[in-house]
Amino acid sequence: MRSPPRHPQLEVLYEDNHLLVVNKPAGLATMGLPQGQPTLLSVAKDYVAGKYGKTGNVYLGITSRLDAPVTGIVVLARTSKAAARLTEQFRTQVVEKVYWAIVEGRPQPDQAVWSDYLADAPRYRSVVVVPADTAGAQLAELEYRRLGRSGIDSMVEVRPRTGRKHQIRVQFAHRGHPLVGDIKYGSKRNFPHVALHARMLVVAHPTRDETMTFVAAAPESWKTLDLPPELRRTAFSIG
């Protein structure tokens, strides 16, 4: 039997003895698939094993996740101490997260804070906006600002204030502005994946008194979008 295909590349943004920071491609789940199916975690373990000649089990802890069709920064911990400390930073929401998204239409106003209550819809494997008193509802809050146009769509910068499942995708779709390519939440656009990118992440280094800022270039697929020249230059730069 042939071995299952492995993802051919891992774009490493930063690594040291405690951290491995990567720019996740679209279509690769962070973790949680049946054994033998490639995930970001398994690809990253292969990378560490190959680079450092490790023959036994490679430890990597997932401290942040992205949906499979979403691109951008994911931080993995190379030690259990780093994993615990980074996980606590995400849990207490002291991590600064910046996403870029291409959304259908033009959200109004051009800058705002949105607050909604979200709940799982297991039947549809999705998340929905619900009244605050719904059983299991969780508060979801984000801040956004419109950066410019992408044809008839808008490019927005999003700073989540909470970390709910599918939060950005659901909150924009709920207001009639699904993310381009997000078929699950109502997009009619032909795009190879969800146009949501984890652009920047700011964390405290788990063992050093140092603030770490990571920036990830947008995926090559975004080059097919009608971005203004100044946004196009910025999107594919990490400087």
- State the catalytic residues: 67
Say how far apart CA 191 and CA 197 lie, in whole Å: 14
Say how far apart CA 21 and CA 78 lie, in whole Å: 10
- Report helix, strand or coil for 202: strand
Identify the CA nearest to 156 among candidates 167, 141, 143, 145: 145
Torsion sign across C-alpha atoms 142, 143, 146, 147: negative
Q: Where are the alpha helices (DSSP H) in 21-79?
A: 40-52
The number of residues in the chain equals: 239
Task: Return the bridge partners of 15, or none.
Answer: 20
CB atoms within 10 A of CB 106: 14
Token pair listed for 220 = 């090559």
Q: Is 129 exposed, middle or buried (0-12, 13-18, 19+ CB in 10 A)?
A: middle
Q: Where are the alpha helices (DSSP H) in 38-116?
A: 40-52, 80-91
